[in-house]
Amino acid sequence: MLKEFFSYYRPWMGLFWLDFGCAVLSGLLELAFPLAITAFIDHLLPQGNWEVTVLAAVGLMLLYVVNTGLMSIVIYWGHKLGINIETEMRARAFDHLTRLSWRWYDRARTGKLVARVTRDLEEIGEVAHHGPEDAFIALMTFVGAFILMFAINPQLALIVAVIVPAMLVLVIVYGGRMTRTWRAIYSRVGDFNVRLEEALGGVRVVQAFGNEKHETELFATDNQSYRDTKLQAYRVMAVSSALQYMGLRLVQVVVMVVGASFVLSGNLTTGGFVGFLLLVGVFYRPLEKIAAVIETYPRGIAGFRRYQELLATEPEIKDGPDAIDAPKLRGDIRFDDVSFSYDGARPIIKGIDLAIRAGETVAFVGPSGAGKTTLLALLPRFYEPTSGHITVDGIPLEGMKLNSLRRQIGLVSQDVFLFGGTLRDNIAYGRLGASDGEIFEAARQAQLGPMIENLPEGLDTVVGERGVMLSGGQKQRVAIARAFLKNPPILILDEATSALDSQTEREIQAALDALAVGRTTLVIAHRLGTIRNADRIVVMQEGQIVEVGQHGVLVEQGGVYAALSG
Ligand SMILES: Nc1ncnc2c1ncn2[C@@H]1O[C@H](COP(=O)(O)OP(=O)(O)OP(=O)(O)O)[C@@H](O)[C@H]1O
């Protein structure tokens, strides 16, 4: 896993070494300063030469300036390294998410996904920057400071060394506690996001049912539990900072007392004494860093693991190695003993055999839950049949590249999803890059012309989040306009179940009829009145085809269809 993690550094090795180099230099300078002070007190001060003293002070100041520069570089460029890696990972995660199959999304919770793409990756970014650098620098200053203290006065250094293990244990124990509480906090944030998404996404339903109070209470529970978890983290933080602070002071006081006795007995110079005290600070600082590494590292690693898991989730449906670019399809469709189940247990589609000629309009009817939508979702390969085969123009679906197949299937579904941009953007989604003229023509064919002309901003009208500013009928027509623009040889129409007024319905029907011309059209019909003219009507029941024929013939047969239309 580490190997994979470090592979993300590869494009940024320049930045990495710059950051790392500056951090090492800065660490060395931190070690050098106490020594400089020691030399200053022990050797320069006794000379009584004011000029040399001032020169030394200027030199020291310059070194501080250099160190400030180094630290700034580490802060800016180091974080730049982290954010570069984070951005790359986020791009990959998003790209991957857009390819995952419907079945995966059936089970996913968007709020959690959003949290993953944002928070997990932020954590990884932090570790990417701080991880290697902090761990190394901390170790270097820790060991370096100890060696220097030992060189100044071994007995004093040993006293410090005795107290260190206790401090280390504290740091590790509290670091671990901190990590666990942070993890809990993030999990709470995930719950939070899910709740927010659902409550605000469904705010209209919430209000329609007058359930604001209920939602507020549910939210309050999550909110409270987030607060409690965070409080717990602050408690751990307070105790651990107090212990760390006290630990350092304790060591300093002990060193002061013992050191002073050494100075008085002539075993330690005054400079050495001051330098030693400063080194105690340098020696302790890495402990905080080590604590920080202990705290952020597991979070970053956990985030990276989840990220890897996400990337390792293979899209269930993807291009096979031998898949070809689909040629321009005519639209001869064959279902050959096709069965399907969502959960692998309950069959939804059972052994369907059906041949549809190019250019034919076939309507699918049947009771709710009969499997009409499911059957047609198999054609663009949103789901894969459990058994059996589907071919278009004699080519098995899985023999064609997904994109080249889906490009040739138009889909107008019941609940139209619009993006929060303008009418133009939403229609152009049918074929990105279409010209304004083409977009307007598609809108006109979808019977949107008069409406657009009446809008002060025309195609530039913003449709609101998910198209809330449009009526159901208008949304349907935007979907139809998209299909016109896409101009596919095969069309799947899932008729709107919501009742539209008869004028709108007539307009939409006219638009759909125009759209169907010259294409193989599969219509899922909820209102039987609209499909009288279909070339064939397929009647489904419990995942099977029970009748096929034209309206008149089926009515005459007096079977299921006759009963449905009766
Ligand atoms: N994504 C899904 N995951 C699991 N089960 C599903 C899923 N979608 C549909 N189903 C189930 O599959 C069965 C068939 O549903 P489908 O939507 O295909 O029926 P339909 O004939 O189109 O119904 P309607 O006329 O009401 O739209 C139903 O029992 C439904 O509960």
- Give me the phi and psi of 545, to 5 degrees please: -90, 125
Query: Which of 104, 340, 348 should be mutated for ligand 1, with most atoms under 8 A from CB?
Result: 348
Whether 69 and 192 map to the same domain: the answer is yes
Q: Which atom of ligand 1 is nearest to the CA of 103?
A: 1
With cut-offs at 50, 70 and 90, classify the pLDDT of residue 563.
confident
> What is the DSSP code string of 476-499?
HHHHHHHHHHH--SEEEEE---S-
Asked if residue 480 belongs to a domain, the reply is yes
Query: Does residue 388 carry a pLDDT above 90?
Result: yes
pLDDT interval class at 131 (50, 70, 90):
low
List the single range of 94-108, 124-138, 512-526 with lowest mean pLDDT: 124-138
Q: How far is the CA of 374 from the centre of ligand 1 (A)?
A: 6
Q: Rounded to a whole number, what is the largest CA-CA distance in the chain? A: 121
Q: Which one of 248, 277, 312 terminates a domain?
A: 312
123 and 179 both lie in a single domain = yes
375/522 Cα distance (integer angstroms): 11
Residue 322 lies in a domain: no
pLDDT > 60? residue 499: no
3-state secondary structure of 52: helix
Q: Which residues pair with 220 in a beta bridge?
A: none
Count how many domains the chain has: 2
Q: Using CA atoms, how far apart are residues 282 and 248, in angstroms rounded to an integer?
A: 11
- pLDDT reported for residue 492: 93
Question: If we measure between CA atoms, which residue out of 538, 533, 522 comes closest to residue 488?
Answer: 522
First to last CA, the chain: 65
pLDDT in tens, 44-60: 888 888 888 888 889 98
In a domain, 323, yes or no: no
Tell me phi and psi for residue 536, to 5 degrees: -145, 155
- ipTM, two decimals, is 0.93
| Prediction pTM value | 0.77
Q: Which residues lie below 8 Å from residue 221, measured CB to CB, with a gap of 6+?
A: none
Q: Is the pLDDT at 393 greater than 90, yes or no?
A: yes
Q: Do residue 352 and residue 439 come from a single domain? A: yes
Give every CB contact of residue 346 below 8 A, 6+ residues apart in sequence.
Answer: none
Please name the residues in contact with 301: beta carbons below 8 A apart, sequence gap of 6 or more.
Answer: 1, 127
Atom of ligand 1 minimally distant from the CA of 342: 4
The answer to whether residues 306 and 337 belong to one domain is no
Q: Could you give the CA distance from residue 394 to residue 401 in angstroms, rounded to a whole number?
A: 15
CA distance 399 to 377: 17
Residues with CB under 6 A from ligand 1: 106, 342, 348, 366, 368-374
- Predicted confidence (pLDDT) per residue in 449-488, tens digit: 888 888 888 888 887 777 777 877 888 888 889 988 998 9
CA–CA distance, 263 with 41 (Å, rounded to integer): 14
Kindly state whether residues 368 and 488 are assigned to the same domain.
yes
Summarised one tens digit per residue, pLDDT across range 9-19 is: 889 889 889 88
Average of pLDDT values for 524-551? 86
Ramachandran class of 218: left when φ > 0, alpha when ψ lies in -120 to 50, beta otherwise:
alpha
Look at residue 166 and tell me if it is in a domain.
yes
Flag whether 255 is in a domain: yes
Model confidence band, residue 500 (pLDDT cutoffs 50, 70, 90): low
Residue 519 — left, alpha, or beta (φ > 0 → left; ψ -120 to 50 → alpha)?
beta
Of 423, 421, 417, the C-alpha closest to 446 is 423
- As a whole number of angstroms, the distance between CA 386 and CA 376 comes to 14
Q: What is the mean pLDDT of residues 393-401?
A: 93
For ligand 1, atom 30, the nearest C-alpha belongs to 369
pLDDT above 90: residue 375: yes
Indicate the residue among 283, 312, 341 that finishes a domain: 312
Radius of gyration of the chain (CA): 35
pLDDT recorded at residue 545: 92
Average pLDDT over residues 391-403: 93
- Range(s) of the domain holding residue 279: 2-312
Domain CATH code at residue 499: 3.40.50.300
State residue 145's pLDDT score: 92
Domain presence at residue 108: yes
The reply to whether 352 and 261 lie within a common domain is no
Which amino acid does the sequence have at 300? G
What's the token pair of residue 519? 């294409």
At 164 the pLDDT is: 75
Band (498; pLDDT cuts 50, 70, 90): low
Protein residue with its CA nearest to atom 13 in ligand 1: 369
Task: Among 299-313, 490-504, 543-557, name the one with the lowest average pLDDT.
Answer: 490-504
* AA identity, residue 47: Q
C-alpha 545/C-alpha 527 separation (Å) is 18
Q: State pLDDT tens for residues 308-318.
A: 888 888 888 88
Pairing mode of beta strands 520-524, 490-494: parallel
Residues 266, 342: one domain? no
Residue 259 belongs to domain with CATH number: 1.20.1560.10
Inside any domain, residue 325: no
| Average pLDDT score over the chain | 86
Whether 235 and 295 map to the same domain: the answer is yes
Q: Closest Cα to atom 28, ligand 1: which residue?
A: 369
Determine the pLDDT at residue 79: 84
Percent of the chain surpassing pLDDT 70: 97
pLDDT at 292 over 80: no
pLDDT in tens, 28-84: 999 999 999 999 899 888 888 888 888 888 998 999 999 999 989 988 888 888 889
Q: How far apart are CA 240 and CA 445, in angstroms?
A: 69
Contact between 547 and 533 under an 8 Å Cβ cutoff? The reply is no
How far, in Å, are 65, 341, 399, 512 from residue 358 at the CA level? Answer: 78, 28, 19, 18
Q: Is 394 helix (H, G, I), strand (E, B) or coil?
A: coil
Of 312, 346, 371, the position where a domain reaches its end is 312
Residue 509: pLDDT band with limits 50, 70, 90: confident
pLDDT at 399: 93
Please check whether residues 165 and 296 belong to one and the same domain. Answer: yes
Tell which phi-psi region holds residue 346, choosing left (phi > 0), alpha (psi between -120 and 50) or beta: beta
Same-domain check for residues 519 and 489: yes
Is residue 65 located within the same domain as residue 149? yes
Do 186 and 216 reside in the same domain of the chain?
Answer: yes
Ligand 1 centroid vs 384 CA: distance in angstroms?
15
pLDDT for res 455: 84
Residue 132, pLDDT score: 65
